[in-house]
Amino acid sequence: MTQINITHVVVISLTAVFLLVALDRSGGLRGPQPTYTLPAAPAPVVAAVVDPDKGKPPPHNDTVADLPDGKGREVTFYTCTACHGVALIKAQGLTRDLWDSTFDLMLERHKMVPVKPEERAEILDYLAEQFPPRRKGRNADNPFLK
Ligand code: HEC
């Protein structure tokens, strides 16, 4: 009499599983497969919404009095605050050469309206005089160290 032991059960089960998997993978156990079609690509965005104020400095209510008194204050104010307030200017401390480069930057990058050479010279003198390079070092302005 043939005895069925645990080894036979395992071998038969594994064989059955193997056959079923093979049959399934060959497609024998599956009905017709649905066909997939890719959804149509969304229409390309032609014109992105452009915020006209993007990158522009914030508006300001500065007046001439917001710049320190000195020769060239008016012409500097009226030339340099069309686009931004005096805070941007006052935050800088530069040599006349670097103010000159800043002036070029305003002309070239920010499309500032050019001024007459005499005016440019007066503005640069004013800026160099009023906003010179600051002393370096964290203790430069410490009143307790004076
Ligand atoms: C046509 C517009 C326009 C005019 C006029 C203009 N600027 Fe500017 N300026 C800008 C813009 C735009 C920026 C960049 C602001 C920002 O980054 O928020 C800027 C930035 C600056 C900065 C900051 C630069 C930095 O690196 O932080 C300084 C300093 C400055 N301007 C000085 C001047 C001076 C001095 C004048 C006059 C000679 C002047 N600007 C005139 C448009 C202008």
The Å distance, Cα 102 to ligand 1 centre, comes to 8
Determine the pLDDT at residue 140: 65
Residue type at position 103: F
Q: Domains in the chain and their CATH numbers?
A: 64-130 (1.10.760.10)
Residue 125 tokens read as 């003198």
Nearest CA to ligand 1 atom 27: 88
Nearest CA to ligand 1 atom 17: 57
Higher pLDDT, 44 or 113: 113
Nearest CA to ligand 1 atom 2: 83
Using CB distances shorter than 6 Å, the residues near ligand 1 are 57, 79-80, 82-84, 88-89, 92, 102-103, 106, 110-112, 123, 127
For 51-108, the pLDDT digits (tens) are: 777 778 888 999 999 999 999 999 999 999 999 999 999 999 999 999 999 999 999 9
Residue type at position 13: S
Place of tokens 């059955």: 16
CA dist 67 and 73 (Å) reads 7
